[in-house]
């Protein structure tokens, strides 16, 4: 053994005995396989030893583990050594890793995009020579399993395998975090091989797809085998992990200086802050005051609550924009996706259910299955902007139901069963089937989306492009001014400062509902629910449901966060009520009755339509008792007109009941129940 290696083992033994004796005894009690060593402590103890670790990490790690083996520990316990706090000079962005970094100890940060199954791997094997009985130990370093070539007695090949020493191994794919990217650059990926105690169930939970981690390890080259069986001149890069530290990546991850914190606190006391911040949302788009106010509150979000029974109540505010082409929906989405520190922008046609939530892919390296996270999981604690939501296929959209309300993504494919966190705010846009929004037709009939999915959005806004001379002049003037000046002179808040303001509020402010605010919301909810009149069929329309009530609570909490207040006041509640009322009036107003009816967007038909169907069904049942099974459509029309249902409507309802399989036409002009 070289003298410097012996010195290194002795020096490291001295370091462990001096600094980490308590940690070793604690690890022995717990039955742990690893000791975590702070690199700063090593530098303080011996600068030369720490520098040698950076220059020759592989040999140094082996020597350090040998030093621990030489300690007089009970049960001949061996430990793996994991490092934390390595110098910043060793940190590399994934895209900047080059061949010069090979065999060096480096640290990388990124999001776990894919994780394979944990598989056992041989690290050493013992063979017996059948001729002389000699025992041969072979270290398994390469990809292929190695057997001895010859024995000292002269025998070649066909040795008996006695024992294999195995450890667990896993491969994860690390991808650059969106906040590390500039412009439209594609995020780069790096393979990471994780072994032994780093893939224990407790550690494996910290490397599920979608989590952000910092990996310290030694960079290695992996040979590429061509189809011919020969080795390629090119190599793949892979990091052999020494330690993995989870980083809680959240919306709030921004460095805020003392001066900026002071500015934020001064800003929060401004009485016109809400107006100023609303104007700062997509300043290049004219109008949409209520929509911009809602998008601003969406950036702040409500407070996530865990109830005593363990059920979580989401704090994220989901918004759906439905409307005419060319009205600026996509621009609003693009603006919000660039404003949020953690955001993903996706378009419906280019998104699949797997790309949105998660998927299981075949792992070619470890010959198993890997879990790969989609946009909703990767944007956990951030915003996911989905454009052209109506252009997605039905199967792909069904994946969103769980992600929007339960805020989890459950996968049960191949041999992988997993539940991933997707605490993600969703801002989506969709176009009506006939291009233009029709206020007389319920939303589910206009856009190719199931009512159950539409109902999961807290606020739904129609964006209409209606000709109006005054408005058109203002819009034209605004657009032409932007094209002439490029930058808006009305920008009241710097984008970077606004981003930090939102980050600070989300991180530090968790407002509680005051009694006055709760009473205001309760009065509005109870009053509105009981103003609806009873329809013709005896069925009362429902103007508001508990889902909208929870949306009002989230919006009022977001309004309090905006003011950096720990208390939701009556004014916050009023703002939330006004926005909800505006939304309900825009999409829930039944033009026939003049009342708000949530069935216009939460079900496939409004309650007034359902009332008429109830009337027609009652008439058919009564006539069946009087005249027998076959009933003339003319008789139904006569009775329906007396009850206030027009002849055209009667024909329309009978057609619907025939299509749904409730009725059939045995002969022309007559109908019969099935």
- Residue 476: pLDDT band (50, 70, 90) is confident
Q: DSSP letters along 89-115, please?
A: GGB--GGG--GGGTTSEEEEEEEEEEE
Pair 665, 658: CB distance under 8 Å:
yes
- Say which range, 408-422, 489-503, 608-622, has the weakest mean pLDDT: 489-503
DSSP letter for each residue of 571-632 = HHHHHHHHHHHHHHHHHHEETTTTEE-THHHHSSS-HHHHHHHHHHHHHHHHHHHHH-S-EE
Instruction: Report the pLDDT value the prediction gives residue 363, as an integer from 0 to 100.
Output: 63
Are residues 113 and 189 in contact, defined by beta-carbon separation less than 8 angstroms? Answer: yes
Q: Which residue reads 């072994």 in tokens? A: 195
DSSP state of 150: B
What is the number of other CB atoms lying within 10 angstroms of the CB of residue 384?
A: 29
> Tokens 């291009």 — which residue?
435
Q: Alpha-carbon distance 500 to 531, whole Å?
A: 43
Tell me if 339 sits within 8 A of 299, measured CB to CB.
Answer: yes
The tokens for 659 are 């299509």
Q: Could you tell me the pLDDT band of residue 2, with boundaries at 50, 70 and 90?
A: very low
pLDDT at residue 519, rounded to an integer: 92
First to last CA, the chain: 92
pTM of this prediction? Answer: 0.65
- CA-nearest of 318, 316, 314, 281 to 296 is 281
* Per-residue pLDDT at 556: 92
The 10 Å Cβ neighbour count of residue 11 is 18
pLDDT digits (tens, 9 = 90+) for 441-455: 666 667 777 777 888
Coil, strand or helix at 354: helix
Q: Three-state SS string across 123-144, please?
A: EEEEEECCCCCCEEEEECCCCC
Residue 77: the pLDDT is 63
Distance between CA 385 and CA 379 in Å, rounded?
10
How do beta strands 631-632 and 663-664 pair?
Answer: unpaired
Q: Spell out the SS3 assignment of 114-125.
A: EEECCEEEEEEE
Whole-number Å distance between alpha carbons of 619 and 624: 8
Stretch 587-612: mean pLDDT: 62
DSSP symbols for 29-40: HHT-SEEEEEHH
Between 309 and 581, the more confident residue is 581
Query: Which of 226-230, 445-449, 458-462 has the lowest average pLDDT?
Result: 445-449
CA gap 171, 241 in Å, rounded? 10
| Residue position matching structure tokens 């010859």 | 150
How far is the CA of 226 from the CAs of 223, 236, 364, 381, in angstroms? 10, 13, 14, 42
In whole angstroms, give the CA distance from residue 369 to residue 359: 10
Secondary structure letter of residue 540 according to DSSP: B
Given a cut of 70, is residue 250 above it in pLDDT? Answer: no
Q: Scan for tokens 């999961």, then name that residue.
A: 456
The stretches of 269-308 forming alpha helices (DSSP H) are 273-280, 289-300
* Confidence grade of residue 496 (pLDDT, cut at 50, 70, 90): confident
Rounded to whole angstroms, the Cα distance separating 473 from 453 reads 37
Name which of 24, 2, 11 is nearest 67 in CA terms: 11
546-562 vs 570-588: helix crossing angle, rounded to 10: 130
Residue with tokens 């030489």: 70
Sign of CA dihedral 529, 597, 516, 318: positive
Q: Which of 36-50, 386-400, 508-522, 550-564 has the lowest mean pLDDT?
A: 386-400
């002439």: which residue's tokens?
Answer: 484
Ramachandran area for residue 103 (φ above 0: left; ψ -120 to 50: alpha; else beta): left
In the chain, the domains with their CATH numbers are 3-85 (3.30.1640.10), 96-246 (2.40.50.140), 258-602 (3.40.50.300), 607-673 (1.10.10.10)
Express as a percent the part of the chain with pLDDT over 70. 80
């Amino acid at each position: 053994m070289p003298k410097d290696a012996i010195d290194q083992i002795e020096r490291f033994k001295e370091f462990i005995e001096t600094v980490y004796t308590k940690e070793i005894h604690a690890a022995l009690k717990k039955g742990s396989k690893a000791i975590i060593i702070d690199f700063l402590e090593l530098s303080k103890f011996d600068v030369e030893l720490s520098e040698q670790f950076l220059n020759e990490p592989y040999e140094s790690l082996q020597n350090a583990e040998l030093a621990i083996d030489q300690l007089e520990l009970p049960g001949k316990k061996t430990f793996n050594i994991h490092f934390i706090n390595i110098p910043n000079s060793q940190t590399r962005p994934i895209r900047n890793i080059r061949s010069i970094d090979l065999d060096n100890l480096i640290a990388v940060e990124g999001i776990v995009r894919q994780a394979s199954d944990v598989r056992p791997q041989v690290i050493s094997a013992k063979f017996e020579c059948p001729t002389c009985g000699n025992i041969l130990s072979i270290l398994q370093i390469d990809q292929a399993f190695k057997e001895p070539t010859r024995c000292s007695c002269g025998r070649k090949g066909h040795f008996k395998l006695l024992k294999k020493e195995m450890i667990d191994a896993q491969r994860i794919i690390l991808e650059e975090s969106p906040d590390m990217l500039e412009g439209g650059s594609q995020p780069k990926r790096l393979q990471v091989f994780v072994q032994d105690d780093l893939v224990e169930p407790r550690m494996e939970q910290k490397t599920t797809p979608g989590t952000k981690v910092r990996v310290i390890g030694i960079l290695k080259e992996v040979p590429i085998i061509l189809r011919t069986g020969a080795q390629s001149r090119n190599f793949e890069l892979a990091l052999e992990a020494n330690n993995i530290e989870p980083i809680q990546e959240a919306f709030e991850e921004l460095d805020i200086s003392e001066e900026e914190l002071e500015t934020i606190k001064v800003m929060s006391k401004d009485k016109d802050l809400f107006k100023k911040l609303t104007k700062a949302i997509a300043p290049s788009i004219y109008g949409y005051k209520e929509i911009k106010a809602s998008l601003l509150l969406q950036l702040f979000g409500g407070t996530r609550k865990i109830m005593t029974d363990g059920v979580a109540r989401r704090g994220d505010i989901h918004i759906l924009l439905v409307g005419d082409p060319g009205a600026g929906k996509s621009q609003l989405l693009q603006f919000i996706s660039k404003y949020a520190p953690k955001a993903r922008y996706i378009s419906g046609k280019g998104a699949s259910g797997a790309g949105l939530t998660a998927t299981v892919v075949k792992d070619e390296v470890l010959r198993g299955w890997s879990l790969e996270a989609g946009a909703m999981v990767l944007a956990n604690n951030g915003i996911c902007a989905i454009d052209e939501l109506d252009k997605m296929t039905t199967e792909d959209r069904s994946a969103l139901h769980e992600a929007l309300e339960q805020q989890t993504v459950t996968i049960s494919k191949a041999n992988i069963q997993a539940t991933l966190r997707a605490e993600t705010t969703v801002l989506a846009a969709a176009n009506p089937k006939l291009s233009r929004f029709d206020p007389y037709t319920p939303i589910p009939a206009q856009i190719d989306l199931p009512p159950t999915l539409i109902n999961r959005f807290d606020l739904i806004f129609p964006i209409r492009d209606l000709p109006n001379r005054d408005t058109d002049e203002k819009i034209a003037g605004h657009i032409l001014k932007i094209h002439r000046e490029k930058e808006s002179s009305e920008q009241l808040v710097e984008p970077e400062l606004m981003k930090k303001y939102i980050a600070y509020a989300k991180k530090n402010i968790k407002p509680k509902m005051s009694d006055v605010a709760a009473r205001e919301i309760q009065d509005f909810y109870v009053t509105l629910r009981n103003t609806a009149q009873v329809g013709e069929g005896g069925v009362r329309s429902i103007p508001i449901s508990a889902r909208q009530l929870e949306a009002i609570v989230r919006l009022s909490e977001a309004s309090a966060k905006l003011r950096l207040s720990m208390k939701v006041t009556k004014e916050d509640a009023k703002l939330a009520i006004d926005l909800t009322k505006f939304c309900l009036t825009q999409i829930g107003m039944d033009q026939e009755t003049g009342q708000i009816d949530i069935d216009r967007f939460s079900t496939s038909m409004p309650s007034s339509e359902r009332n008429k169907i109830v009337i027609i069904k009652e008439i058919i049942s009564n006539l069946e008792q009087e005249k027998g099974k076959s009933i003339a459509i003319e008789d139904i029309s006569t009775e329906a007109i007396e009850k206030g249902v027009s002849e055209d409507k009667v024909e329309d309802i009978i057609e619907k009941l025939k299509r749904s399989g409730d009725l059939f036409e045995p002969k022309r002009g007559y109908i019969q129940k099935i």
